[in-house]
Amino acid sequence: MCPFSLLILLALSIYGPNLINADVLRPTQPPIFILGDSTADVGTNSYIPDCNATANFPHNGIDFVKSRPTGRFSNGLNSADHLARLFGYNSSPPPFLFLHSLKYGLQSGIYRGVNFASGGSGLLDETGLQLNVLNLPQQINQFVTVRRNLTAALGPELTEAFLARSLFCISTGSNDIFVYFKTRSTMPKEEFINLLMEAYENHIKTLYSLGARKFGIISVPPIGCCPANRLLNGTRCFEPMNDFARCFHSALDKLMCKLSSELHGMKYALGDTYKMTIDVIDNPRPFYFKNVDTACCGHGTLNAEGICNATASLCSDRRQYIFWDLFHPTHGAARLAANTLYGGPTLYVSPINFAQLAAEN
């Protein structure tokens, strides 16, 4: 990692958006619609009956207000929350299913955006099926309901303008790769990545047809370095899985470039979370992390042999850890990732960053 990039990322982690020109920093607060998996789930799965991928119990949320578990797979906030904060909100927009449970939620609570992300989901319909979570088509169907409510309240023209300035943030793909390895699939890597890209393209085009124009895309991090996956290789990063993550980003970069040339008015920012994360894992001290391989909360070797729950071993200083549990980042690591997505250089997010995407007309 070059020293200049390291300094930028370090400064972003400490000062956040203050490094960015104020005119770029605070565009008019865009509505934010968030889709994806557990890295962005702010409680969706807590509202799904018989869901087998939840986090609405201790020690999750130990650093949230009143140490309250919120359904986030985190000790505090996740990347979706931190991104929303950078755009001037207190936290991520609420889950669709929460708003749906309120008497007037879908009439009054949707104007700053909605979070549809569901932990355990992926790009493929079958990913997460056994966990009883919401796959991406189901999340998009929820957005259709939101769009219908917006149209009823604002009319077609204002709804079109509202959605055109909204950010559609998508964080997905990791679980599809997890399932590939867990099921010991024999499909060649290139064929599998192409399958994921076909699904991603269909999802983007569907959202575009519904009015989405600005896409903040979050790629797959070095998932082979998650504590649970390190156990597949002693305690070292499981490189075959990391190789899939790198190939995923490369293919996604080409796909987004192609789509932006085909879909009139579409703009995007693609976060290379593989590079931004591996750079921190390889050199954690400038970012004030000391532990890059062990889960803060869990059981057994690397705290990675069991989920984070009330009986799990819990680290005393969460600020020193990158990983909260078997797979997910801590509050601090998620904040660093969000700061980089929001205002980072093209080394980590391209062709523009999320702040520049929001400011685009």
Q: Catalytic residue among 82, 203, 249, 328, which?
A: 328
Tell me, what amino acid is at 155? G
Phi, psi dihedrals of residue 60, rounded to the nearest 5° = -55, 140
Sort strands 267-271 and 349-350 into parallel, antiparallel or unpaired: antiparallel
CA angle 40, 44, 47 (to 5 degrees): 165
Question: Is the CB of residue 174 less than 8 Å from the CB of residue 119?
Answer: no
Predicted TM-score (pTM) of the model is 0.92
Strand 349-350: give its sheet, edge to edge: 113-115, 32-36, 167-171, 214-218, 267-271, 349-350
| CA 2 vs CA 8, 181, 190, 273: distances in Å | 10, 33, 30, 17
- Give all domains of the chain, ordered by start, each with its CATH number: 27-222+239-275+338-359 (3.40.50)
Q: Is the dihedral of CA 278, 118, 56, 307 positive or negative?
A: negative
Tell me, what amino acid is at 73? F
Among candidate residues 269, 275, 203, 268, the one with its CA nearest the CA of residue 245? 275
Long-range contacts of 261-264 (CB under 8 A, 24+ apart): 263/204, 263/205, 263/208
The pLDDT, as a whole number, for residue 28 is: 64
The pLDDT, as a whole number, for residue 120 is: 98
Question: Is the CB of residue 274 less than 8 Å from the CB of residue 225?
Answer: no
The pLDDT, as a whole number, for residue 8 is: 41
The pLDDT, as a whole number, for residue 110 is: 95
CA distance 54 to 46: 6
The token pair at 198 is: 């076909």
Q: Catalytic residue among 41, 81, 272, 325, which?
A: 325
The pLDDT, as a whole number, for residue 18 is: 36
Q: Give the model confidence (pLDDT) of 205-257 as tens digits.
A: 999 999 999 999 999 999 999 999 999 999 999 999 999 999 999 999 999 99
**Among this protein's residues, is 38 annotated catalytic?**
yes
Phi, psi dihedrals of residue 87, rounded to the nearest 5° = -90, 10
**Among this protein's residues, is 328 annotated catalytic?**
yes
Q: Catalytic residue among 38, 74, 121, 219, which?
A: 38
Phi, psi dihedrals of residue 99, rounded to the nearest 5° = -60, -40
SS3 of residue 26 by DSSP: coil
For the chain, 361 residues long, give each residue's pLDDT as a single digit of tens: 443 344 444 444 433 433 333 333 344 699 999 999 999 999 999 999 999 999 999 999 999 999 999 999 999 999 999 999 999 999 999 999 999 999 888 988 899 999 999 999 999 999 999 999 999 999 999 999 999 999 999 999 999 999 999 999 999 999 999 999 999 999 999 999 999 999 999 999 999 999 999 999 999 999 999 999 999 999 999 999 999 999 999 999 999 999 999 999 999 999 999 999 999 999 999 999 999 999 999 999 999 999 999 999 999 999 999 999 999 999 999 999 999 999 999 999 999 999 999 999 8
Question: Which residues pair with residue 268 across a beta bridge?
Answer: 215
- The helix (run of H) or strand (run of E) holding residue 10 is helix 3-15
Among candidate residues 269, 237, 265, the one with its CA nearest the CA of residue 252? 269
Burial of 250 (0-12, 13-18, 19+ CB in 10 A): middle
